[in-house]
Amino acid sequence: MTINFVSGFESIIDQKRPLQLLTTLLKKGTIPHALLFTGIDGAGKHNAAIAFAMACNCLGKGSASKEQYAGNAGNYPEGPSVSEPCCICRSCRKILSHNHPDILHIEPTGAIIKIAQIRSLCHTLTMKPFEARLRVVVISRAQAMNPEAANALLKVLEEPPASTMLILTAEQTSDLLPTIVSRCQQIRFNPISRKSIALYLTSDQKIPPDQAAIIAGMARGSLSRARSMSKTGWIDHRNRLLSTSGLDNPGTLPAKPINVLLAFAENLSKQKDTLPDALEIIKSWLRDIVVCQYNTKKVINADMTATLKKISEKISPELLLQKIMAIQRTQRNIESNANPRLSLELLMLQLAEKY
């Protein structure tokens, strides 16, 4: 299984239903003026948007004529006859290299998409496409739009420009204005299966199968997260985290002085880029201890099954579930802009109790 992360539809795995919907739109020529792709990051939404833009503008054999796209978006009497981009014509190559003047990308600047970005887009859309049959605007992580930007985009959706379509990506519809959602055709991308991610890691990234299975379990359905984990020594990072915290050795954690626990929490709070993964590692570890009491074949950290089994014989599932819930509360609090250091200090005290 060879995957080029930005190419045609073949780069998207485990998304049979979304791809069927997209290819049907292309074959029938019933392309809406706006699509909304929802799902977790790394499920293939962005690659699908680029592949769709390529298919709409492919110059390969059997492609539609420019005249078929002369009217308003969504009104193509005959429609394109290409359901798969060729990936080698001039148009496809420009899109793949991000050099096509009519395939526009908008993404958050920092944490948000600002009103200035949408205003600039609105100005661009007053002009005709330079060369594309169908100008495509891809707005990644549309949930990052501030209220002003969202309202400005709504006006575009209410009066869609000719020969233009928009593709928005977001994690879930509830993150967007209902009025924006109602003006888009929605396509849901589900998390990718652990089996498919593991297969990709072994065949394309040449990761040993045992490590690939662990990473696939921790990737939580995200192929991009799995790729990142495979390149950053994630397993070594997991081992250091478990050892430093004492979670890999029952009895040592509650025996640690409070100042040591607080120092660990403070150090963890400073690692903003890796903090979400660190909390997921701890949560997966405790989850595995619970699972190990029932079925060792279902653990994520399979290379440490012996240690997990030993720990599982000493701690009750009820206590472990309480600790997992404490981690989930901490994750929600930090996502809601609570003080990371204070949240983690409280968490470490809760984890140390009776462990």
Spell out the per-residue pLDDT of the chain, length 355, in tens: 444 445 688 889 999 999 999 999 998 889 999 999 999 999 999 999 999 999 999 998 655 444 444 333 444 333 444 678 988 999 999 999 999 999 999 999 988 999 999 999 999 999 999 999 999 999 999 999 999 999 999 999 999 999 999 999 999 999 999 999 999 999 999 999 999 999 999 998 899 999 999 999 999 999 999 999 988 888 899 999 999 888 988 776 666 788 888 999 999 999 988 899 899 999 999 999 999 988 888 899 999 999 999 999 888 999 999 999 999 999 999 999 999 999 999 999 999 887 7
Non-local (6+) Cβ contacts of 251 within 8 A are 355
Rounded to an integer, what distance in angstroms lies between the CA atom of residue 187 and that of residue 81? 21
Tell me if the pTM is above 0.75.
Answer: yes
- Confidence (pLDDT) at 2: 41
Location of structure tokens 């379509």: 165
Nearest to 352 by CA among 284, 266, 286: 286
How far is 98 from 95, CA to CA, in rounded Å?
A: 5
The pLDDT of residue 92 is 94
Domains of the chain: 9-188 (3.40.50.300), 232-352 (1.20.272)
Three-class SS string for 94-140? HHHCCCCCCEEEECCECCEECHHHHHHHHHHHCCCCCCCCCEEEEEC
User: What does the pLDDT read at residue 63?
Assistant: 53
- How many C-beta atoms surround the C-beta of residue 173 within 10 A? 17
DSSP secondary structure string, 65-80?
PGGGGSSBTT--SS--
Report CA dihedral (60, 62, 66, 69) to the nearest 10 degrees: -120
| Sign, CA torsion 29/32/33/34 | negative
Half-sphere exposure of 125 (CA within 13 A, CB side): 26
